[in-house]
Structure 1
Amino acid sequence: MDSADELVTQGLRQQFQALQEQQQQRRRQRMALVRCEKKEQGPGPAGTSTLSEEDLGLQLVKAEICSTTDISKSLLENENELLQEQIHELRDENGRLYKLVNEKNFEIKHLKKKSEEDRLALAGTAGIAGDVAATKIVELSKRNRELTVENESLKSKIKQLGNKLQELEKLDATQTASTKESSGRTNKELSPRIQNSSLQSDILDAKALHEKLAATNLKLIESRNQILSVKQELKMAHKVLVNEVGEDVNIQHLLNNKGTWRGRAQQIQILQKKIQELESQMGLNNQKGRSSEHSVEEEMLGISGLRRLSNQDKNVAYIRTLEKERKEAFEKMTGDHERLKKDHEDLKNKFDGSKARNKVLSSELKILKSQVVTLLEKGKHDDELVGALLKQQKQMQEIMGRLSQHESKNKDTSQILSQQQNCETQKQGSVIGELKQMVTEREAKVKDLEKEIKQLLLKQHQEKNLSDDQMVVNLPKCRPSSAQLDKTNEHSTENSISADAEITGRPLSARAVSKMGHTLIECATVRPLSGNAVGRCISVDATDAKALQLQCTEYKAFYQAAEVERDKLTELVTILQKRLEDSNDKILETEQKLLEQRRWSVTLEQQLGKAKLDAGKTHDKPSSKHKAISSSSTSRQCQSLCSSGDLIPGKPLTTALDIQVEELNTRLAIQVDENEALKTALQSTLKAKEEDLKLYHDTVAQVKQVFLQVLRQHKEKT
Structure 2
Amino acid sequence: MQPLHRRRKEKGRGGGRGDQFDPSQRPGGTTLSYRPCGKKSDPAGLLENENEQLQQQLRETVDENGRLHKVLKERDFEIKQLHKKIEEERLALLGTSGVPGDVAATKIVELAKQNRHMTAEVEKEKTKVKQLNNRIKELEKEAATATFPGDRFANLGTFPGRNLSGDRFCESPEMKALQEKLTAANFKVSEFRNQLQTTKQELKMTQKLLANEVGEDVNIQNLLSTPGTWRGRAQQILILQGKVRDLENQLGHSRSRLSESSTEEEAVSLADSRKTSASKKNLQRIRSLEKEKKEALEKLSGEHNTLLKDYEELKQKLDGSKARNKVLSHEVKTLKEQISTLLDKGKHDDELVDALLSQQKEMQAILKNLSQQDERTKESHQNLEQQLSVEVQKQNCLIEQLKQMVAEREARVKELEEEVQQFTSQVNQIGSLNTTEIIASTLVIFASASSLVYRGSLLPPFPTQVLFFFFFFLLFRIVEPDNLDMKTVKIQIAEYKALGQAAEAERGKLIEMVNILQKRVDDSTTKVWEADKKLQEQQRRYIALEQQFEHLKTESGKNSATGLASTAQPHNSTRLDWNVGERSGPPSAQRSEVPLESQIEELSTRLAIQMDENESLKMALQDSAKTKEEDFRLYQETVGQVKDIFLQALRQQKQDRT
TM-score by length of 1: 0.40
Which structure carries more relative contact order (alpha carbon 8 Å, separation 6+)? 2
